Chain A
Amino acid sequence: MQIYLPIAEMSVNLFFLIGIGGAVGFLSGLFGVGGGFLLTPLLIFSGVPAPVAVASVTGQVVAASTSGALAHYRRGAIDLHLALYLVLSGILGAFGGVAAFDLLREAGQLDLVISLGFLILLGSVGTLMLIESTRAILKHRQGVVVRERLPNQHNWIHGLPMRVRFKKSRLYISVLPVLLIGLFIGFVGSLLGIGGGFIMVPALVYLLRVPGNVVIGTSLAQVVAMMAATTVLHAVQSQSVDILLAFCLMVGGTAGAQFGASAGKYLRGEQLRGLLALLVLAVAIRFGLSLVIAPADPFSMAVVGGLQ
């Protein structure tokens, strides 16, 4: 069944949209990531113009993360105080990201920056996560009991000035790294059309030492608020949010996220992180190959300005 998308100005198969929304939603529920880093490339490969894909996926990420965030909220697994700091600095970063997005699109370098950005970010994050989770899994096999968090296991980042107490996370740390993480993820997220959960989760775990039981919930809450703001920014700045496209993805995504969240209960934290690392690395390799392999068609075209 074909459906016409009024902003993308093309017709696509409705079941294809709901299908990829559902599949990505399942993974987002499983890993606590928004799923944008999978959905945006998938849409671009299926012919949706890159600006429309990036802008509409931000809307979808809001929906996919809302059900997950609410589920974690009911379980009391969100540090709202920490999320607030991340969101406020994230929105600031999103302003910069949306502006950079427009500049790069005009210059014709958006695709290059998106590919490079995905390659560097996903490649480094994926490799780190894979190493860490493999180690944890091996230790688990050997029967070594690893405590979730050693008390007073602070690094120099926590010692910076302006300390704030985050009760839920049982942390008393400097607010500066928190704000920096939010700013960076806001910028990168709106530029690449991703929620940034896959950067947020490791950043919270390894840099801030947020305990595992609140990491995913806090990350999801942050993604919901920041992506909501980014959707509005994209709608105002580039007017390329396709509400129909976003809605089709949302329907599939929210359903998939529920199944993903319940499937996640059967896996241990390090196993989840290992699987996510593999997924992230696969996408990074895909983007890396597109940079070095000779394109099938060295020529491309784009519309500058709107219809006249």
Chain B
Amino acid sequence: MTRLVLILALVLALAVPAQAARLLSQLSNDTVEITSSFDGERMTFFGNIVPDAGATEKTLEGPFHVIVVVIGPTQNRVARQMTNNFGIWSNTAQVEFLNFPSYFHVLASGRLNEITDITTLTTNNILPESHTLVVDSNDWWRGAVFGQQLVRLMTEQGLFGVQENGVNFLSDNFYSARLTLPSNAPPGPYLALTYVFKDGQIIARKSEGFAVRKIGFERFLALSATQQPLFYGLICVVLALFTGWLGGVLFRR
């Protein structure tokens, strides 16, 4: 009975927004260009929490919490486990995760468990683990174990992360968040989802896109490798033969 009352209260709380708010936000750059000297890029997300259009109040009373979720292009990824068979270590089990983000960083203005509850975090895919729940296998336990390991591996590569001090409030309503994209950030379309919380509830949200892409010579090389593979391969060979010949000529004594 008490559980039913709780669920009812939760539904009501979700249905009625705590406060009508709007988020005015901006990214420091909407494209990240990969050049030959690309060594990562620093990005800044900033925004202002203002009353909704048509609202009577001039300003909103905090305290607010902001979570910025940055998601990279998705890929199909497998997690594999090695086991020892007859003295030799080899990959024996693997679980495939379809449409798994290649990059996922969460920036928050405080500890996630103090900002809101676990249900809101998981239903909005704010936790890295929430992406590992979609596994095309009936063996959910194995999926959970491998998913956790996959998140750990991605975190070690700097591709996944949660920074609970990543968002700073400069005034009551104005925040900024900093993110350093690593040099191994995969190129493609990125999404920055910003959630504004008050008293554990989402009162405003906004999504913005930006792109990480190769430009100039790097783009030309990557395109020719996939679109003209035969020609590309032949150029590689000619370059190799030429370099080898030139080396012989230059160093001949």
A162 within 8 A of B: no
Question: 1/0 per residue A280-298: CB within 8 Å of B?
Answer: 0000000000111111011
- Contact assessment for A299 and B75 in the assembled complex, using a CB-CB cutoff below 8 Å: no
Known: A236-B230, A236-B233, A250-B244. A302 touches B84 (CB 8 A): no
Known: A7-B225, A228-B241. Contact between A305 and B76, CB under 8 A?
yes
Q: Are B237 and A231 in contact (CB under 8 A)?
A: yes
**Inter-chain contact A299/B81, CB cutoff 8 Å:** yes
A-B pairs with CB below 8 Å: how many?
Answer: 207
A294 touching B84, Cβ below 8 Å: yes
Structural contact, B89 and A10, CB atoms closer than 8 A: no
The contact of A292 among B36, B89, B91, by CB within 8 Å, is B89
Would A254 and B222 count as touching, CB distance under 8 A? no
Q: Tell me if B251 and A300 are in contact (CB < 8 A).
A: no
- Supposing A241-B225, A305-B76, A308-B99 touch, asked if A235 and B233 sit within 8 A by C-beta, the answer is yes
Q: Which residue of B lies closest to A262 (CB)?
A: B253
- B83 surroundings in chain A (CB, below 8 A): 298
Interface residues on A, range: 35 or more
Contact B233–A66 (Cβ < 8 Å): no
A303–B99 Cα distance when bound, in Å, is: 11
Contact across chains for B248 and A66 when beta carbons are under 8 A apart:
yes
Chain B residues with Cβ under 8 A from A3's Cβ?
A: 36-37
**Partner of A231 from B82, B218, B240 at Cβ < 8 Å:** B240
Q: In the complex, what distance in Å separates the CA atom of A294 from the CA atom of B222?
A: 37
- From 249 to 304 in chain A, residues with beta carbon under 8 angstroms from any chain B beta carbon are 250-251, 254-255, 257-259, 262, 290-295, 297-304
Q: What are 9 inter-chain pairs, A to B, with CB distance below 8 A?
A: A4-B35, A4-B36, A62-B244, A63-B240, A66-B241, A67-B251, A235-B230, A243-B221, A291-B89
Interface positions of A (Cβ within 8 A of B): 1-4, 6-7, 9-11, 59-60, 62-67, 69-71, 108-109, 111-112, 224, 228, 231-236, 239, 241, 243-244, 246-247, 250-251, 254-255, 257-259, 262, 290-295, 297-308
Beyond A66-B240, A302-B78, list 19 extra A-B contacts (CB 8 Å).
Answer: A1-B37, A4-B39, A4-B183, A6-B219, A7-B222, A9-B184, A63-B243, A63-B247, A66-B245, A71-B248, A231-B240, A241-B232, A246-B236, A254-B246, A258-B251, A299-B80, A301-B154, A304-B77, A304-B96
